[in-house]
């Protein structure tokens, strides 16, 4: 796991790569790679790569980057881990290719030499890389299928720049900070910035599951090689709809994924909550023979003795599977002390990531470099209320949505003070207008604010342009790939995986973990794992979350299996309200806390000249 950066001056009239700019970009990501750094330039200075290394596979200098092929044709700067690199290496050796290191990076170079850009579909892992092909004079940028690792790029019409962090591009000094209304509106709507937008007009996120080629004419259109809707439709068409054996298929898929995610030359720990998903990971690690595993649990002083306290039940699970248990308690004072550094590390504005920041901090303090996380299981197994709420809304309200103007009329009648007077949440006003379509119902479920509320938060001109360019309903609907046959369960799984998980959970895991120099691996976020699961309708009927609890040979204890789901919560909303001198109710509604935190994050000054 690393931080990568690169500059390609693709037009002949463009100035050569500025070493100082590339160094500033690379050093902005120092926390991503404390184990080493490197830079590389072509002889004509038209291309330069930078790299910060967190050594996980092949700890020797043989794994140092940027890395070049022996013949000098190919050079790469790579962030991530390829879990099937050993299998690929054996395959390539059988074709006569010779390796000089034990690294997965060299496998990427040799695999590209054999298969070209199509090699990305062979990779099992998380990755983002830039690869220079001197013979073709092309730069290839690529990102993993589900978007675990980020990659940002900018093009000024002369030169392309890329990096693992958007702020690294800005740190170079050549990329403008002009605001992008689409990204700003996206954050206020959803609590995260939807790809390919950022909050800066010149900086783009390379979409997950795509490659981008830059040649002498500049960047081509990104080429998609994976999308979630098509993958789930293909799984549904596989014919594995017989529920008999579904539990064993799920358990087998989980064991296979965890086995691949344990590939490392350093110990692999686990982030352990009181939930089913992380407990199943620890139990599966025990099945696979992992010993002396460290399990890290985050606790909050304010939750002690309450159902939200994860520590006691997590301790029971750790003891059940023989793990060394590390409990890290965070209080308000530590949160306030860490807040400036946390906001600086936050690569794009988000309402999440605080829990990951502190659990990764605890891991770093314990000497841990790699940890598995249960992130992604709820998207696989229907663990969110949206799996019931969204289809119910669509099926109940679809007919009413065809009545012209009815939804908008009801919304205007219920908005603002009227809704508040009736004790309704502000989003309730949009139920008839939005709830009858998949995209609208999902927006209602996942939004922080709704479109009609934005004028109270942002300049009207920003809202108008942002909504026009973002087109939120069309963007949500596009994730479903019109015409792709999907059942209700798989529709919601597609939306949650392609939008919420990708743009918020995975991005937050990346910046918060990397800020602490900790690599977070996500066995539930794996196309190979998704493909091996039973189809969505079988998972829905199976009660997949309970099946996960039984995946380890020694199932999770009943105290975990039948615990009421609370989510991985933080008391941040309470802390912020108390800091502002506002009265705090005994319990704070999650949506209220999200709005409070969103406003605090945005006030941190993302667009000003001092924004880090």
Per-residue pLDDT, 587 = 46
Copy the structure tokens of residue 58: 């092949």
Tell whether 343 is covered by a domain. yes
What distance in Å separates the CA atoms of residue 53 and residue 434, rounded to the nearest whole number?
46
Q: Tell me which of 441, 467, 493 is where a domain ends.
A: 467
Q: How many residues does the chain have?
A: 612
Q: Are residues 24 and 89 in the same domain?
A: yes
Regions of the chain short of the pLDDT cut 50: 586-588, 609-612
Check: CB of residue 80 under 8 Å from CB of residue 88.
no
The range of the structural domain enclosing residue 576 comes to: 571-612
Residue 12: CB atoms within 10 A of its CB come to: 8
Q: Does the residue 478 lie in any domain?
A: no
Domain match, 399 and 513 both: no
In a domain, 62, yes or no: yes
pTM confidence score: 0.94
Return all residues near 3 (Cβ < 8 A) that are at least 6 apart.
26, 29, 30, 32, 33, 51, 52, 79, 163, 164, 165, 168, 514
- Position 610 scores a pLDDT of 36
* Residue 426 lies inside a defined structural domain of this protein: yes
In a domain, residue 496? The reply is no
User: What angle separates helix 246-261 from helix 276-287, to the nearest 10 degrees?
Assistant: 70
- Best CA proximity match to 188, nearest among 553, 573, 601, 557: 601
Query: What whole-number distance in Å separates Cα of residue 586 and Cα of residue 564?
Result: 19
pLDDT at 567: 53
Inside any domain, residue 339: yes
Query: Rounded to the nearest 5°, which phi and psi values hold at 73?
Result: -75, -40
Tell me if residue 300 falls in helix, strand or coil. strand
How deeply is 500 buried, as exposed, middle or buried, from its count of CB atoms within 10 A (0-12, 13-18, 19+)?
buried
The pLDDT value recorded for residue 403 is: 58
Residues 453 and 556 in one domain: no
Q: Are 521 and 268 in contact (CB under 8 A)?
A: yes
Beta-strand relationship, 370-372 and 268-271: parallel
Give the pLDDT score at 586: 47
> Are 539 and 611 members of one domain?
no
Residues 164, 51 share a domain: yes
Pick from 80, 60, 4: nearest CA to 37: 4
277 and 181 within one domain: no
Residue 486 lies in a domain: no
User: In CATH, what number is assigned to the domain containing residue 325?
Assistant: 3.40.50.620
Both 534 and 586 in a single domain? Answer: no
Q: Do 110 and 187 fall into the same domain?
A: yes
**Phi first, then psi: what are they for 10, rounded to 5°?**
-80, -25
475 lies in some domain: no
The rounded distance, in Å, linking the Cα atoms of 565 and 418 is 33
Same domain assignment for residues 216 and 247: no
218 and 318 share a domain?
A: no
Q: What is the pLDDT of residue 497?
A: 98
Q: 523: part of which helix (H) or strand (E)?
A: none
Q: What pLDDT is attached to residue 612?
A: 38
Q: Is 11 in the same domain as 120?
A: yes
Are the C-beta atoms of 323 and 267 separated by less than 8 Å?
A: no
DSSP strand pairing (159-163 vs 2-9): antiparallel
What's the burial of 77, exposed, middle or buried (CB within 10 Å: 0-12/13-18/19+)? buried
Count of domains observed in the chain = 4
Percent of the chain with pLDDT over 90: 78
Do residues 259 and 152 both lie within one domain? no
């Amino acid at each position: 796991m690393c931080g990568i950066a690169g500059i390609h001056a693709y037009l002949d009239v463009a100035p050569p790569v500025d070493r100082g700019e590339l160094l500033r970009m690379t050093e902005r990501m120092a926390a991503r790679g404390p184990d080493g750094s490197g830079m590389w330039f072509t002889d004509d200075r038209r291309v330069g790569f930078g790299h910060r290394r967190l050594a996980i596979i092949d700890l020797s200098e043989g794994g140092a980057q940027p890395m070049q092929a022996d013949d000098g044709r190919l050079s790469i700067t790579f962030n991530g881990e390829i879990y099937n690199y050993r299998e690929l290496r054996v395959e390539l050796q059988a074709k006569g290719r010779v390796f000089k290191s034990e690294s997965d990076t060299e496998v990427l170079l040799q695999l590209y030499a054999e298969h070209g850009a199509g090699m990305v579909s062979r990779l099992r892992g998380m990755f983002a890389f830039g690869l220079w092909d001197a013979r073709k004079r092309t730069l290839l940028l690529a990102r993993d299928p589900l978007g675990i690792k980020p990659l940002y790029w900018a093009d000024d019409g002369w030169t392309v720049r890329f990096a693992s962090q958007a702020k690294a591009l800005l740190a170079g000094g050549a990329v403008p900070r002009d605001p992008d209304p689409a990204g700003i509106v996206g954050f206020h709507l959803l609590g995260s910035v939807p790809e390919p937008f950022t909050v800066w007009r010149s900086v783009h996120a390379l979409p997950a599951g795509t490659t981008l080629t830059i040649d002498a004419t500049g960047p081509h259109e990104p080429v998609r090689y994976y999308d979630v809707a098509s993958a789930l439709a293909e799984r549904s068409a596989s014919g594995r709809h017989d529920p008999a054996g579904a539990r064993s298929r799920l358990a087998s898929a989980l064991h296979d994924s965890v086995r691949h995610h344990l590939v490392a030359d350093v110990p692999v720990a686990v982030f352990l909550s009181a939930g089913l998903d992380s407990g199943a990971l620890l139990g599966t690690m025990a099945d696979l023979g992992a010993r002396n595993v460290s399990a890290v649990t985050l606790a909050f002083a304010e939750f002690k003795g309450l159902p939200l306290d994860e520590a006691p039940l997590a301790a029971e699970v750790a003891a059940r599977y023989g793990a060394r248990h590390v409990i890290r308690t965070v209080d308000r004072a530590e949160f306030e002390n860490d807040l400036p550094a946390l906001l600086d590390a936050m690569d794009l504005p988000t309402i999440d990531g605080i829990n990951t920041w502190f659990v990764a901090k605890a891991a770093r303090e314990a000497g841990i470099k790699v940890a598995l996380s249960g992130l992604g299981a709820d998207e696989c197994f229907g663990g969110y209320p949206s799996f019931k709420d969204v289809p119910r809304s669509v099926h109940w309200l679809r007919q009413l949505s065809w009545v012209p103007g009815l939804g908008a009329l009801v919304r205007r009648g219920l908005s603002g003070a009227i809704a508040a007077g009736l004790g309704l949440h502000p989003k309730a006003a949009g139920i008839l207008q939005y709830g009858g379509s998949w995209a609208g119902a999902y927006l209602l479920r996942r939004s922080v604010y709704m479109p009609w509320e934005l004028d109270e938060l942002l300049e009207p001109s920003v809202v108008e342009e942002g909504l026009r360019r973002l087109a939120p309903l069309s963007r949500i609907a596009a994730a479903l790939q019109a015409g792709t046959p999907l059942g209700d369960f798989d529709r919601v799984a597609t939306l949650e995986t392609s939008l919420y998980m990708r743009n918020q959970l995975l991005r937050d895991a990346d910046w918060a973990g990397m800020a602490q120099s900790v690599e977070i691996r996500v066995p539930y976020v794996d196309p190979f794992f998704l493909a091996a699961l039973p189809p969505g309708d079988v998972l829905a009927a199976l009660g997949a979350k309970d099946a996960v609890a039984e995946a380890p040979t020694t199932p999770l204890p009943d105290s975990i299996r039948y615990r009421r789901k609370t989510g991985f919560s933080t008391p941040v909303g309470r802390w912020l309200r108390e800091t502002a001198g506002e009265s705090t109710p005994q319990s704070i509604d999650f949506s209220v806390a999200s709005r409070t935190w969103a406003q605090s994050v945005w006030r941190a000054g993302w667009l000003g000249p001092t924004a880090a």
